[in-house]
Structure 1
């Protein structure tokens, strides 16, 4: 099911795909998710949902996603941090201007998405990112 795209995955994992195997990317993703789950008090079921790309069904699952995006700097103060997204994209895509622009376009499309609750904000931002990526035909984590 391709119902969940983490902005982190869009901007980082795609770029890392050139130097990491799919198994290595999945391992890194799961490690980050488990670290955030421990920090957020989320359950293993919340991590399992994330790993199989299901939308979060609980507050813990949403908070894992917030933690991951905040750790990378892509979400700050419950909003997409467009400058940080551009910086991460520049690193992930070896400075490729067209890919960096796509990342900025996606971030800008979701720039007004927020919520007072950081976990809800992350869930809404990631849903926006998923929809924006789909409309542009960008590959999902399942395709990597």
Structure 2
């Protein structure tokens, strides 16, 4: 059970920092290790990792593939596609039960951002589109 709770927390914190992290430092602390673990597989540079963690625009292929890898490790992308909006929202609602502000932001980001990546054939581009939307919402 404790592993399930930990997994859910990691998934939620890693998704959209504008929604989830109470501070930039909290996001860096929780997502930074996952991004570093993905660095080699994604072909990302240290600068790509820093760009992702800073929630900035992902301009390089390495940074875009890093986002894909992080989302995969978080369980948001399975078999090359984002899991259903309902599955993502179930996680948010479990973690943020009672926090109406966070839930409203989560609902907004999932509704606006995840669909942008659904029709993208390239997984790295898919993740980058969702990331870009999340930075603006």
Shift of 1:121: 0.5
Q: Greater share of helix residues, 1 or 2?
A: 2
Post-superposition, which runs of at least 4 consecutive aligned residues in structure 1 deviate over 4 A? 22-25
TM-score by length of 2: 0.69
The answer to whether structure 1 residue 117 and structure 2 residue 122 are counterparts is: yes
* Structure 1 partner of 2:131: 126
TM-score by length of 1: 0.66
* Structure 2 partner of 1:57: 59
* Structure 1 partner of 2:6: none
What pairs up with 1:89-104 in 2 under 5 angstroms?
89-93=92-96, 95-96=97-98, 98=100, 99-104=102-107
Aligned-pair Cα RMSD in Å: 2.6
Q: 1:112 to 1:29 in 2, by over 3 A?
A: closer
Shift of 1:53: 3.1
Residue of 8, 15, 28 corresponding to 2:16:
8
Q: Deviations over 1:22-58 (max 9, x none)?
A: 6454222211110111232222121122233331221
Q: Is the 8 A contact 1:56 1:62 kept in 2?
A: yes
Q: Is the 8 A contact 1:8 1:74 kept in 2?
A: no
